[in-house]
Structure 1
Amino acid sequence: MHFLLLGANGRTGQHVLSTLLSQGHTAVALVRTSTSLTPRDGLTIVTGSPLSKPDIRSALLATPSLPLSAAIITLNTVRKSESPFAAQLSPPRLLADSCANVCQVLEDAGIFRIVVMSTAGVGDSWGNLPWLSKAFLGYTNVKFALADHNLVDEEIRSTRMEWTLVRAVKLKFDDGKLTDANMGVRTMDSDGVGMSLTDSISVSSVARFLVKVAVEGLYVKSAVVVAENM
């Protein structure tokens, strides 16, 4: 299969890309800086912004011999530092507008499958989020990312896309190191019933799950909360 990737140079996106290529798939990645990704067999790198529909169209046209199967989005907002209190650098609707642009371009091209990485606490999962997690999300600058993810949730439901929203609990950043591929992923309904304060999931586990959902056509037009089996 052939995939359009947005966020392929991010911590989760790099794992998505590696997983796809290791399985024999191909990908075209739209990135702001071409040097942010290492060239590899099966990967086409296109420089541009997800806030630009012409740039997204350029990514689709970059591999004319490879019909696109789906898009996987692992974009996230950017803060001045890793601190949850750091100032937000991204525009307020970076994720929502990027998602809307991709959906429009794909629809125009007759491509309707898209898988988007989201976060626990979005939409109907907020009510079942542990209260300490609510406090963290509500009273730090992470709240701006949460608000943007909520806008993505609203935007994508108004499209004709066959979408899936993967709402990950607290992420463990393994910084490029492969975790146990046999580590299972526990899935919950979109409302996140069953979430606990100790739940977490590695970015590599999320990436494998995103690829599985995209390749196998799972959870179409639905959201799913994911955590790692402990």
Structure 2
Amino acid sequence: MKVLVVGATGGTGRHVVEQGVARGHEVTAFARDPRKVPDGVNAARGDALDYETVERAVAGQEAVICALGAPLTRTGTVRSEGTLNLVRAMEKAGARRLVVMSTIGMGESREMLTFRYKYVLVPLLLRGVFADTERQEEHVRQSDLDWTLVRAGALGRGERTGAYKHGVGVTTILRGKISRADAADFLLKQLQDDAYVRQAPYVSY
């Protein structure tokens, strides 16, 4: 499958690119600095906030995985505005499948946050990031695409194990964490599984 990875040089995006190539997908890594893209991987230079470069990169793709992110301490709109550009470009190009990395804490999954996250970290440190992610999810939901919003637990280091839980609805039987490698594994699996099309599953240990 021809897959465009947006946020390809970020912590999770790098794993998506590596695992996508290993699975036999024709991966194109969308990046502001193509020099950061691994050798042998197609690279498309661009900025998610620049619609024209997004449109060029989306042309000819069958699916897009969006793993946009920014440092937690930096406020901004890269997730929401970048994803809106993706949605517009995909609808214009006729590309249907969109898989977007989101986070546990959005929508009904807020009830899955621990007390520390819900009442301390989010209000004091993550308010801007969560607000931008909420707008990102809204742009995706309003689209006509075959989308999946993957609400991941707190991302960290670790190997790809495949030993994670996923589903829809609210649950408390989770550790609230997942390795970036396993998050990438789940993102890629959505390309060939329609169980969560137009849904927002959680994924976590």
> 2-side partners of 1:105 and 1:188: how far apart?
29
With the length of structure 1 as denominator, give the TM-score of the two structures.
Answer: 0.83
How many aligned residue pairs are there?
A: 205
Contact 2:84 2:140 in 1 (8 A): yes
Question: Bigger shift: 14-23 or 125-134?
Answer: 125-134
Contact 2:104 2:112 in 1 (8 A): no
> 2-side partners of 1:60 and 1:211: how far apart?
17
Change in CA separation of 1:78 and 1:172 when aligned onto 2, cut-off 3 Å: closer
Contact 1:39 1:45 in 2 (8 A): no
Report the equivalent of 1:227: 204
Change in CA separation of 1:36 and 1:140 when aligned onto 2, cut-off 3 Å: farther
Contact 1:137 1:146 in 2 (8 A): no
Change in CA separation of 1:195 and 1:96 when aligned onto 2, cut-off 3 Å: farther
Note if 1:32 corresponds to 2:5: no
Identical positions, percent: 27
Report the equivalent of 1:192: 170
User: By how many angstroms is 1:139 displaced?
Assistant: 3.2
> 2-side partners of 1:25 and 1:136: how far apart?
41
> 2-side partners of 1:195 and 1:136: how far apart?
21
Paired residues for 1:130-209 under 5 Å: 130-174=114-158, 179-181=159-161, 183-189=162-168, 191-196=169-174, 198-209=175-186
The Cα RMSD (Å) is 1.7
Q: Map Cα deviations across residues 51-84 of structure 1 (whole Å, 9 max, x no partner).
A: 11110122134xxxxx4221000111235xxxxx
> 2-side partners of 1:137 and 1:123: how far apart?
17
Report the equivalent of 1:49: 47
Who wins on radius of gyration, i.e. which is larger? 1
Report the equivalent of 1:102: 86
Note if 1:23 corresponds to 2:23: yes
Question: Bigger shift: 129-138 or 94-103?
Answer: 129-138
> 1-side partners of 2:25 and 2:104: how far apart?
29
List alignment gaps of at least 5 residues for structure 1.
62-66, 80-85
User: By how many angstroms is 1:185 displaced?
Assistant: 1.9
Contact 1:185 1:209 in 2 (8 A): no
Off by >4 Å, runs of 4+ in structure 1: none
User: By how many angstroms is 1:36 displaced?
Assistant: 1.6
